[in-house]
Amino acid sequence: MGKAIGFIVVVVLVGGFFLVNNYIYREKQGDGKAVELYRTSLLGEYVCVPYKDVSKPQTDECVFGLKTDVGEYYGIDFFLMSQTHDPLVIGQRISANGVVIPVEQLSPDKWQEYPVEGTFSVTDSLVILGEEDTPQITVALGDSATAMHVTVSPQRVISDSRCPSGVQCIWAGTVEVWTVLTTEVAHGEHTMTLGEPQVFGDYLVTLIEVSPAKTQESIPDDSYQLTYTISLK
C-alpha cells in the first residue's frame, strides 16, 4: 500500500511538472526569455474576466478568472491540482494556493483584451468561502503555510497551560507559540497566544486552535498542529 501511494504521488508531481512546462512553452513570448513563476495564495471572487474595453459587449464565452479583494484580475485554471473538486459557480469566493505567471510573460494574442495581472494555476488548498468566512491554515511546528499573502511559520511552543482532558480546573489555561510571519515585504517574529489577534502590517493573524488536546502526558513537539486565521485589519 505504501509503495502504491508513493507511486501515485510521484506520478502527480511528474505530471504537474510537465503540465507547467507545457503551459510555459505555449504561453511564453518568442524572444527566448525565461518565464518567471512565483507561488502565492489568492483570495477573491470566481468570475468571468471582463474586457479592458468596457464598451465592448461581453460574449457568451467566459474566460474564467479570479477577482481579488484588492480588485486585481487573474486568469485561473485547475490543471495542477492533485485532487478533484466540485465545479465552482461564478460569484463564489475562494481562497487558494498556486503558481502565477505574470502577464508580461503571457501570449498577447490571448490576453491583451483582458485586464489580468497574470494567470493563476491552483495547486492545493482550494477553499470555498462564505461572505463572512476568514481563511484558515493549519500547520505543524517547523513547517509553514500561506494565505492572503502571509506566510505563517510556528517555530516552538513556549508554554501550554491548557487544562488536561478529564481534569477540573479553575482556569482553562492557554498556549503560547513563537511564530514567524512574513510577506514579500515584511518579516516579524511574535509570541502568539491562543485566541489573541496579532497585528502584522495590514493583517490580523490569530491562533485559534491547538491540537492534540492536552493530557497529563507531555505532548511531543512533532505532534502539535496549530490553526491560524488571517484577515485584513
Question: How many alpha carbons lie under 13 Å from residue 9 in its C-beta half-sphere?
Answer: 6
User: Taking residues 185-194, what's their average pLDDT?
Assistant: 94
Which phi and psi angles does 175 have, rounded to 5°? -135, 135
**pLDDT tens digits along 45-82:** 899 999 888 776 666 678 999 998 778 999 999 988 87
Cell of 186: 515584511
Give the separation between CA 75 and CA 46, rounded to whole angstroms: 10
Does residue 189 surpass a pLDDT of 70? yes
Amino acid sitting at position 35:
V
Does residue 181 surpass a pLDDT of 70? yes
**pLDDT tens digits along 118-158:** 999 998 778 877 755 677 888 999 999 888 788 999 999 99
How high does pLDDT run on average in the chain? 81
- Architecture of the domain defined by 34-129: Beta Barrel (2.40)
Length, in residues, of the chain: 233
**pLDDT tens digits along 54-63:** 776 666 678 9
- pTM value > 0.85: no
User: Taking residues 215-227, what's their average pLDDT?
Assistant: 91
**What letter would DSSP give residue 189?**
E
Q: Are 198 and 219 in contact (CB under 8 A)?
A: no
Q: Cβ contacts of residue 219 below 8 Å, gap of 6+?
A: 160, 212
Q: Please give the pLDDT value at position 133.
A: 64
Residues of each domain in the chain carrying CATH 2.40.50.500:
34-129
User: 28-32, 195-199, 215-219, 223-227 — which is least confidently predicted?
Assistant: 28-32
* 83 vs 25 pLDDT, higher one: 83
Instruction: Look at residues 124, 128, 78, 72 and name the one whose alpha carbon lies nearest to residue 102.
Output: 72
